[in-house]
Every structure is written in structure tokens, then in C-alpha cells.
């Protein structure tokens, strides 16, 4: 058993993790998740934001068990392998902003990097421009890294800090199971504080237990193998290292084959599930997301799994994603299948400017 687990930190780790995600994600779609959305950190964070009432777009409100499971899987792995080391202090405020802007960019495209790869593997060719945008955004982040960009060092923190996020995730699980309804709307019907969609993507989900267990498995494997969908591109360009990229390539190939087997592969641009065909902003949204993820040190999945290790700065990034998920709908930033929203393009441009300023100005403070 230990040798299998040690295997996960070898070059095979990301490959095995990618293969497992490549099977489980399309299966989640088969079991009820929205199309090409077996796993999407951005869409799911947005759904959770909606369920918590941070936005009131009725079609995208659900507490996604994959996120809870993914976090808890990484948390358990970190505890078992003595990698649960609470830490914080590396520019948490900036990380919050990066999480928010990464979310805006991803929701203009309609997917995080995980879903970009899963969309490609489902035949959604709109993902091609999204992934190209992601590569450009990562490349831009690398320019800043080479110029000396750094969010500074974290410091060890009291153990209690590392338990805040597990407690929040357990609370989310309780909300999911109990769906508390304390309030009354103007007609006297029970409402909130937890909101679940009755139609739309938010009402499409695999059975709770399956989503939770699949999430646990993915979080466990990804924590061990350091799987990262942004690091994959970054390390290839910056370090000429294909360790993580292998995992992403395997994910795409295995998800493609699984989609074929399940009859879920449908090639084309038009009529793709939870997607639009505006190539410019599919590209632009992911440039912003790729830049923000790179400056923060990893993709949203990686941030979630780092949070599982007790990384308080990664928790701040996730908090930024939740708040960004709320704003993206209340400020008309998030796209819909009918196209980009009123303020999507403008927000991407503002976000790029802010992320570039962050890239140019953040340096390690000398003490």
C-alpha cells in the first residue's frame, strides 16, 4: 500500500490523477451533472456562491459536493502524510483579489482550466480558444515571475488556522443535507438562507454520495501528486518540465475516450452545453484567468487542495473565488449560453490591468 502511495509522488502521480479525473468527470455528467461539467472549480464555486445567496441567479445555485469532497480528500491525504502544515502570510489580500479576477475571467469563458480541458474532450471546439487564452495568460504570468514577481513568503501558523476551512466545508455539507429555510419571502413562502436551483445547470447534479466520494478520491490523489492544470503549462514553458503536463494530456485523452464510450462526445462549436461561441471573449476571459492563477501559484483545484494542507493563503484565494462568483452574476459579468454578458468584456480588461499592476509591483519585501 505504501509503495502505491509513494508512486503518487513519482512521475506517474499526475498521470494516474489525470486518468482518474478523465474517467470520473464524464461519469458525473452521465449521472446528472451539466454537460462537460463533471468537475469545474469555477462553475461549482459560483453555484455554491449562489446557494449561499451571494447572487440570486436562480439557475446556478447548488452546493456542489465535488468541492467539499475534493477539499476533504486533500485534507485527509495531508493529515495522513504529515503534510498538514497550517501557514499563511504571503499577501493574503492580493490572493483574494486574484481569486476574484480569476473567477471573472473563467466565468466569461464559462469554465476553469479543468472544464476547459473537459470541454475539449467532449468535442466543444470553443474550448480551443479558451485554452489558447489560458496559455497566453500563463505566459504573461511567467514574464512577471522572471522579472522578480513574488507574493512573498508564508510563515507557519497555529494549527487552529488550518482547521477553519475544514469546519467551513463541514458546514457546507450540513447546509447541503439540511437545506435550512429560515426566512419568508413577500408571499410568505419559506426562503433562504440556502437556495437551490429548480431549473437550469444548478438543478443538474449527480447523486450526492457519488459526487462526494468522487471528489474525495480526486482530492486525495491530487494532493499526493500535486496535480495542477495551470502548473502543467507553466512548468513546461518556464522550467522545460513536463511532469504536470503529462497529467493534463492524459486527462484530456481519457476523458475523450470515456465520453465516446458513454455517448457524450459531440463535436462542434454551436449548441454546446453551458458554452457560448464568442471566440474573442472565450480567449480573453481565459487570458485573465490564466494570468491570475499563475500569479497565485496554481489552478483553482490546486488552491483547493493546498487549502486542504492548511494553507491559509490558498483559502483566501478560494474566498475570492466565492465572492467573485457572487459578483460575476450581480454585476452581469458571467456569460450564459446566449453569449457574453453586458459587463463581461469590460471586467476582463479591468481585471487584466489590475493583474498586470500586481505582476509589476509585488516583490518580496526585504526584512
Partner 1 sequence: MGESNMVDARGLSCPQPAMLARQALQKLSKGTLEVVVDNNTARENVSRIAKNLGWEIDIDERSEDEVHLMMRK
Which residues form the interface with partner 1 (CB under 8 A)?
A: 9, 82-83, 85, 87, 89-90, 145, 150-156, 226, 228, 231, 234-235, 238-241, 243, 296-298, 313
61: phi > 0 → left, psi -120 to 50 → alpha, else beta; which? beta
Least separation in angstroms between residue 138's CB and partner 1 is 11
Return d(Cα 232, Cα 134) in angstroms, integer.
11
> Residue 28: which H helix or E strand, with range?
helix 12-30
Give the burial class of 115: count Cβ atoms within 10 A of its Cβ; 0-12 exposed, 13-18 middle, 19 or more buried: buried
Closer to partner 1 by Cβ: residue 198 or 241: 241
DSSP secondary structure code for residue 364 in this structure: P
Least separation in angstroms between residue 326's CB and partner 1 is 26
Least separation in angstroms between residue 301's CB and partner 1 is 13
Q: Which residues contact 285 (CB under 8 A, 6 or more apart)?
A: 104, 105, 106, 107, 108, 109, 130, 133, 335, 344, 348
Closer to partner 1 by Cβ: residue 306 or 352: 306
Closer to partner 1 by Cβ: residue 150 or 332: 150
Least separation in angstroms between residue 234's CB and partner 1 is 6
Least separation in angstroms between residue 143's CB and partner 1 is 13
Return d(Cα 234, Cα 265) in angstroms, integer.
29
DSSP secondary structure code for residue 340 in this structure: -
Closer to partner 1 by Cβ: residue 296 or 323: 296
Closer to partner 1 by Cβ: residue 49 or 151: 151
Q: For the chain, how many residues are written?
A: 367
Least separation in angstroms between residue 204's CB and partner 1 is 34
- Residue 111 C-alpha cell reads as 469554465
Least separation in angstroms between residue 295's CB and partner 1 is 9
Q: Which residues contact 159 (CB under 8 A, 6 or more apart)?
A: 86, 310
| Cβ contact 288:104 at 8 Å | yes
Return d(Cα 316, Cα 319) in angstroms, integer.
5
Closer to partner 1 by Cβ: residue 177 or 239: 239
- Residue 305 C-alpha cell reads as 487542495
Closer to partner 1 by Cβ: residue 107 or 151: 151
Cβ-count burial 31-44 (b if 16+ within 10 Å, e if not): eebbbbbbbbbbbb
- Residue 261 C-alpha cell reads as 464510450
Closer to partner 1 by Cβ: residue 51 or 316: 316
Least separation in angstroms between residue 327's CB and partner 1 is 25
- In 73-163, the DSSP E strands lie at 87-88, 155-156
| Cβ contact 42:318 at 8 Å | no
Closer to partner 1 by Cβ: residue 35 or 359: 359
Least separation in angstroms between residue 231's CB and partner 1 is 6
Return d(Cα 350, Cα 333) in angstroms, integer.
12
Least separation in angstroms between residue 241's CB and partner 1 is 6
Closer to partner 1 by Cβ: residue 219 or 297: 297
Return d(Cα 203, Cα 205) in angstroms, integer.
6
Q: How far is CA 50 from the centre of its chain?
A: 16
Amino acid at each position: 500500500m505504501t509503495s502505491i502511495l509513494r508512486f503518487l509522488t513519482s512521475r506517474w502521480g499526475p498521470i494516474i490523477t489525470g486518468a482518474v479525473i478523465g474517467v470520473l468527470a464524464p461519469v458525473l455528467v452521465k449521472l446528472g451533472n451539466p454537460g462537460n461539467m463533471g468537475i469545474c472549480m469555477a462553475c461549482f464555486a459560483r453555484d455554491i456562491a449562489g446557494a449561499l445567496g451571494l447572487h440570486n441567479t436562480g439557475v446556478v445555485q447548488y452546493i456542489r459536493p465535488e468541492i467539499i469532497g475534493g477539499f476533504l480528500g486533500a485534507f485527509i491525504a495531508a493529515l495522513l502524510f504529515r503534510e498538514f502544515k497550517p501557514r499563511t502570510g504571503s499577501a493574503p489580500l492580493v490572493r483574494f483579489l486574484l481569486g476574484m479576477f480569476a473567477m471573472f475571467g473563467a466565468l466569461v469563458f464559462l469554465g476553469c482550466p479543468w472544464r476547459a480541458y473537459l470541454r475539449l474532450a467532449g468535442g466543444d471546439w470553443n474550448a480551443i480558444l479558451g485554452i489558447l487564452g489560458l496559455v497566453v495568460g500563463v505566459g504573461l504570468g511567467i514574464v512577471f515571475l522572471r522579472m522578480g514577481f513574488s507574493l512573498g513568503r508564508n510563515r507557519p501558523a497555529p494549527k487552529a488556522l488550518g482547521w477553519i476551512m475544514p469546519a467551513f466545508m463541514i458546514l457546507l455539507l450540513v447546509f447541503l443535507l439540511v437545506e435550512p429555510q429560515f426566512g419568508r419571502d413577500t408571499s410568505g413562502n419559506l426562503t433562504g438562507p440556502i437556495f437551490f436551483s429548480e431549473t437550469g445547470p444548478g438543478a443538474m447534479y449527480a447523486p450526492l454520495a457519488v459526487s462526494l466520494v468522487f471528489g474525495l478520491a480526486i482530492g486525495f490523489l491530487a494532493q499526493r501528486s500535486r496535480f495542477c492544470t495551470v502548473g502543467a503549462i507553466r512548468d513546461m514553458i518556464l522550467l522545460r518540465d513536463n511532469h504536470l503536463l503529462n497529467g493534463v494530456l492524459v486527462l484530456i485523452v481519457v476523458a475523450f475516450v470515456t465520453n465516446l464510450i458513454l455517448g457524450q462526445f459531440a463535436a462542434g462549436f454551436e449548441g454546446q452545453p453551458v458554452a457560448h461561441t464568442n471566440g474573442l471573449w472565450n480567449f480573453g476571459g481565459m487570458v485573465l484567468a490564466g494570468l491570475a492563477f499563475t500569479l497565485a501559484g496554481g489552478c483553482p483545484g490546486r488552491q483547493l487542495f493546498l487549502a486542504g494542507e492548511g494553507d491559509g493563503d490558498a483559502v483566501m484565494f478560494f474566498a475570492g473565488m466565492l465572492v467573485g462568483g457572487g459578483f460575476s452574476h450581480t454585476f452581469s459579468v458571467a456569460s450564459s449560453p446566449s453569449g457574453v454578458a453586458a459587463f463581461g468584456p469590460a471586467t476582463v480588461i479591468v481585471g487584466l490591468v489590475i493583474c498586470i499592476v500586481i505582476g509589476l509591483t509585488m516583490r518580496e519585501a526585504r526584512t
